[in-house]
Amino acid sequence: MKKLLTDRFLLGATSADRVFDSHTRGLVIRTGALRKVWYFAYRLDGRDQSIRLGEYPALSLAGARDEAYELRRLLDKGLDPIVERARRAELERVASAPAPAPGPPVFTFAMFVPVYVGFQKGRTKEWADEASKIDRHLLPAWGALALREIKRPQVHELLDVVAGKGLTYGVNRIQALISRMFTVALDRGLVDAHPASRVIKRFTEQPRDRVLSDEELRALVAGLDARPGAASDAVRLRLLLGQRGGETAGMLWREINLEAGLWSMPAPRTKNGKPHVVPLPATALELLQRRRAAIAETEARVFPGLTLTSLEHKALAAIHGGAYEWIDLRRTVGTRLAELGFDETTRGRVLNHARYSVTEKHYNLHAYDVEKRQALAAWDVELARILANKAKKKTNVLPHRPRR
């Protein structure tokens, strides 16, 4: 939702909602019965990001707009606001600290952060997510420490604190991040030993194997019908096409060819960094045509303002009550395609899985467009049968086999 924010509106807002300020680009407030929180939302390198600014009314409307203007200026200069805020906070801390006793300069963890983030920025798409985790979990604990003073006990202490906040697998992700950071530090001679090497993970992760049953698929679609909107349509597309959540929520109109029935994602928008073409079966095409008719021509996104962490998207979890996760839709599509007779290569191309063999990576340049269209069209028909609760027809037709 987008509107010109006023104090009168903010004081009266009690329902859970996410409202963008039409006066200030990127300024958004999440309202609720208990509190109202300001955020600055932006997009950088194909990823949606947000920064928490503070709570209203402690941070006034005018103050939030001033902060958003400042962050927008950083973004216009090509700087990432998350990284730049951490850097400036450290500079302010150092400037306000009492002068140290004469001695050799101390290279702190906070000073190392821009070095690491800059290194990762050229290597991985996850650098912004890593910078956010560093800002939330590592800098508050280690920012002022000399990088060489961070030893194994400090690593265990920090992981214990994070685990105490209720994180499970998230603790493993932070541990992996710490390990990567000190691998870079060790490689550059900034530390003498790796403090996180061979640290035992606190939580054992089991590979997920959840696939939705026919009954669950019918209940899901009925729940989406009862909650129409951008988030519901995005989840429908994930079920129809089997693509990743972030890629679907961030879908752009320039990627869609409604006449040809194709969704063409460029390399920067995909997890494996490879361009990916998704044929659009009839139901998906109808959904996108409906959204095109309802959205202004000037809007670049198919689902304006939608992210996987937005309130509208999170509210849809009430449909399944925690019985499964949205990522399980992707596994469901892959499994159902196998049941329909499509081979592993075709399923992998539909889901845009990374290819590891030398042959697949370098010598097999076939696009599999025909096979992908056949597979998603077959799943479209099968899903319609499931939703109509009709029995499978007996057939003598053999399962699909790839072209030779």
Three-state DSSP state, 374: helix
Q: What is the pLDDT of residues 152-192, one digit of tens each?
A: 999 999 998 888 877 777 888 999 999 999 999 999 999 99
- pLDDT tens digits, 240-291: 999 999 899 999 999 999 999 999 999 888 887 888 999 999 999 999 999 9
Return mean pLDDT, the chain.
86
- 208-240 b/e (C-beta count within 10 Å ≥ 16 → b): eeebbeeebbeebbeebeeeeebbbbbbbbbbb
Domains and CATH numbers, the chain: 1-78 (3.30.160.390), 80-97+105-206 (1.10.150.130), 214-387 (1.10.443.10)
Pairing between strand 2-3 and 17-21?
parallel
> 2-37 burial, b for 16+ CB within 10 Å, e for fewer?
eeebeeeebeebeeeebbbbeebebbbbbbeeeebe
For the cut 50, the answer to whether the pLDDT of residue 398 exceeds it is no
Give the CA-trace dihedral at 156, 157, 161, 163, to 10 degrees: 20
Q: What is the pLDDT of residue 392?
A: 80
Per-residue model confidence as pLDDT tens digits over 114-135: 999 999 987 877 888 899 899 9
Q: What is the pLDDT of residue 254?
A: 94
> Which pLDDT score is estimated for 394?
62
Q: pLDDT tens-digit profile of 355-376? A: 655 445 544 446 688 899 999 9
Q: What is the DSSP string of 125-177?
A: TTHHHHHHHIIIIIHHHHTTSBGGG--HHHHHHHHHHHHHTT-SHHHHHHHHH
**166 with 153: CB under 8 angstroms?**
no
- The answer to whether the beta carbons of residues 20 and 305 sit under 8 Å apart is yes
Q: What CA–CA distance (Å, rounded) separates 264 from 266?
A: 6
Q: Which residues contact 266 (CB under 8 A, 6 or more apart)?
A: 255, 275
Q: Could you report the per-residue pLDDT of 386-397, keeping only the tens digit for each?
A: 999 998 876 544
What is the number of alpha carbons within 13 Å of residue 349 lying toward its C-beta? Answer: 23
For residues 284 and 217, give the distance between their C-alpha atoms in angstroms, rounded to a whole number. Answer: 16
pLDDT at 28: 93
pLDDT at 126: 80
pLDDT for res 80: 84
What's 255's DSSP letter? G
* Coil/strand/helix, residue 50: strand
Summarize the confidence of residues 190-213 as an average pLDDT. Answer: 85
* Gap between the Cα atoms of 303 and 287, Å rounded: 12
Q: pLDDT band at 353, cuts 50/70/90?
A: confident
With a cut of 80, say whether residue 381 has pLDDT above it: yes
- CA dist 381 and 379 (Å) reads 5
**Bridge partners for 44 per DSSP:** 47
pLDDT for 358 equals: 46
